[in-house]
Amino acid sequence: MIRLTVNGQAHELDVPSYRTLLDCLRYDLGLTGSKEGCGVGVCGACTVLLDGKMISSCIALAVFADGREVTTVEGLAEDERLHPVQQAFMDAGGFQCGICTPGQVVAAKALLDAIPHPSEAEIKEWMLGNLCRCTGYYKIVESIQAAAGQARA
Amino acid sequence: MRYEAPESVQGAVALLAAANGDARVLAGGTDLLVQMRADVVEPELIVDIKRIRETRAVTQENGGWRIGAAVTGAELKEHAPLKQAWPGVVEAANLIGSTQVQGRATLGGNLCNGSPAADSVPALIAAGAVAKLAGPHGQRDLPVEDVMLGPRTLALRPGEFVVSFLLPPRPPRSADAYLRFIPRTEMDIAVVGAGVSIAVDGAGTITAARVSLGAVAPRVLLVAEAAQAIIGSRLDDAAQERLAAAARAACRPIDDKRGTTEFRVDVAGVLARRAALIAMDRARTR
Ligand SMILES: Cc1cc2nc3c(=O)[nH]c(=O)nc-3n(C[C@H](O)[C@H](O)[C@H](O)COP(=O)(O)OP(=O)(O)OC[C@H]3O[C@@H](n4cnc5c(N)ncnc54)[C@H](O)[C@@H]3O)c2cc1C
Ligand code: FES
Ligand code: FES
């Protein structure tokens, strides 16, 4: 039996110890925002925050997260109001097919929590574990820059 | 599969020693989980060591630094005094993976995964790091260069695990550096890695050195001949040449699509020289 707080909501779950955190979120809790791209820690599509720090949930066990707080892309918006990072990705065209976007958005939020006004180099370094096959990355960087500006306002 | 997260070294040893079947230590899981998902390993017991205080602390000890085996790369980066004392070790640890991986990947896992290309291992060996092992018969110290015997083969005895690493005290005017070569610009496995640690006297003459090479042999190498080649010199061109030649002579690399034998041997010389120049530069300015 593990206790998880996911997006502010407490859960008690009986999970087998080999269950990944990603599968637990998607299949036990129905939070399908986090995606599985590679399944081996490389692509970043499954990025979530564990106690505020970003991790690849496909290579974390659900039992790791016992007693801890998980934030997924579903937990970023407040009611109907999108998180500034989500709004910026929409406004600046930070996605095309969208499969990588939940991971990009969560990673970008973690970045702005750690470095509120990152340089372009800092953005690229922080985000290098979030692969995208569509955008060529420019629009993602621009979206994050826009979100940093918005957070400032 | 059973998952346990003991809170003491003895607790972990007891679990590992009593296990029948495949028991695995779990630190960050960035190697282990990938191997489990690929069905390369199917452990019956996982012993998560992250709740054990000794594996998670960075403390000063007799003028040196003791680093817990389960301290993450991201935590090392935030540790300013450690970064100041051992910049090469910290930069090597910070090369491991993406931001997501950095938040979990540990020095203990990097070493015990048993890859000859592990980035932090040449830096630890160049630094003269000593691993503290705990097992059913008590604790013992083992220099890092003696922990890995070959790919996926370690000198650990049944029930043993790495608790921490001790980095020795830093004399004045000493420093280290680590460089790797990868075909892409990031997130790739080292084709060659080189760690160098140097101490110089007031006149800039090298008084002590250690050189370690990764990914050029079945295990990470401590290359004594390469260190001997520069001790007593000021790392002039001739000494650099001797260093590069000794580094190349020590290599017994594999030949694969990521780098031919000839290429790896050549790059080992180049990287050893460049890492030595960086370490030298750092040593002189402190
Ligand atoms: C996307 C990605 C990129 C990567 N990039 C790099 C890279 O650039 N360079 C690099 O070197 N590696 C890289 N790696 C590999 C991996 O992240 C590192 O080797 C990391 O340091 C492993 O640490 P860990 O704590 O996650 O190990 P774990 O996965 O927890 O453990 C690895 C192995 O060591 C054993 N083990 C762990 N700790 C101990 C201990 N204290 N005592 C005894 N046995 C122990 C485990 O049983 C397991 O067999 C990458 C991995 C991923 C997923
Ligand atoms: S699905 Fe987790 S990193 Fe790719
Ligand atoms: S938007 Fe398609 S992969 Fe990034």
Atom of ligand 3 nearest to the CA of A97: 2
The rounded Å distance from CA B18 to ligand 3 centre is 48
Asked if A58 lies within 8 A of B97 by C-beta distance, the reply is no
To the nearest whole angstrom, how far is the Cα of B75 from the nearest Cα of chain A?
A: 12
Instruction: Please report the pLDDT score of residue A17 as a whole number.
Output: 94
The rounded Å distance from CA A74 to ligand 3 centre is 18
Angstrom CA distances, B142 to A144, B56, B105, B155, stand at: 46, 19, 22, 9
pLDDT at B7 over 90: yes
Tens-digit pLDDT profile for residues B187-203: 778 889 999 999 999 99
Q: Which residues contact A65 (CB under 8 A, 6 or more apart)?
A: A2, A4, A21, A24, A50
In this prediction, residue A150 has a pLDDT band, given cuts at 50, 70 and 90, of low
Candidate from B3, B5, B187 with C-beta closest to A129: B187
Tens-digit pLDDT profile for residues B44-73: 999 999 999 999 999 999 999 999 999 999
Tens-digit pLDDT profile for residues A43-58: 999 999 999 999 999 9
CATH 3.10.20.30 domain range(s) in chain A? 2-75
Ligand nearest B33 Cα, by number?
1
Query: 3-state class of B172 per DSSP?
Result: coil
Atom of ligand 1 nearest to the CA of B31: 29
Lowest-pLDDT range, A66-70, A147-151, B129-133? A147-151
Instruction: Please report the pLDDT score of residue A151 as a whole number.
Output: 56
Within a domain: residue B41?
A: no
Which homologous superfamily is A84-152 in?
[2Fe-2S]-binding domain (1.10.150.120)
Instruction: Please report the pLDDT score of residue A79 as a whole number.
Output: 86
Q: Which residue, B189, B20, B37, is CA-closest to B121?
A: B189
CATH at B98? 3.30.465.10
pLDDT at A95 over 80: yes
Which residue range forms the structural domain that includes residue B245?
Answer: 174-284
Q: What is the mean pLDDT of residues B182-191?
A: 80
Beta carbons of B111 and B89 less than 8 angstroms apart: no
Pocket test for ligand 3, best of A36, A90, A101, A141 (most atoms within 8 A of CB): A101
Q: Judge if ipTM > 0.95.
A: no
Is B36's Cβ below 8 Å from some Cβ in A?
yes
Atom of ligand 3 nearest to the CA of A95: 1
CATH at B230? 3.30.390.50
Within a domain: residue B32?
A: no
Instruction: Please report the pLDDT score of residue B183 as a whole number.
Output: 83
pLDDT at B22 over 80: yes
CATH 1.10.150.120 domain range(s) in chain A? 84-152
Alpha carbons within 13 A on the beta-carbon side of A100: 24
Q: Which tokens sit at A16?
A: 């087998």
pLDDT at B265 over 90: yes
Domain limit, last residue, from B167, B188, B213: B167
B:44-73 residues touching chain A, CB 8 A cutoff = 46, 48
Lowest-pLDDT range, A26-30, B133-137, B158-162, B260-264? B260-264
**Chain A partners within 8 Å of B100 (Cβ):** 41, 44, 47, 54-56, 107, 129
Is B189's Cβ below 8 Å from some Cβ in A?
no
In this prediction, residue B209 has a pLDDT band, given cuts at 50, 70 and 90, of very high
Q: Which tokens sit at B248?
A: 């190349």
Per the structure, the count of domains in chain B is 2
Within a domain: residue B225?
A: yes
Domain limit, last residue, from B127, B150, B167: B167
Beta carbons of B122 and B250 less than 8 angstroms apart: no
Instruction: Please report the pLDDT score of residue A153 as a whole number.
Output: 43
The rounded Å distance from CA B154 to ligand 2 centre is 29
Which homologous superfamily is A2-75 in?
Beta-grasp domain (3.10.20.30)
Domain limit, last residue, from B139, B167, B195: B167
Within a domain: residue B198?
A: yes
The answer to whether residues B162 and B235 belong to one domain is: no
DSSP B75-98: HHHT-HHHHHH-HHHHHHHHTSS-
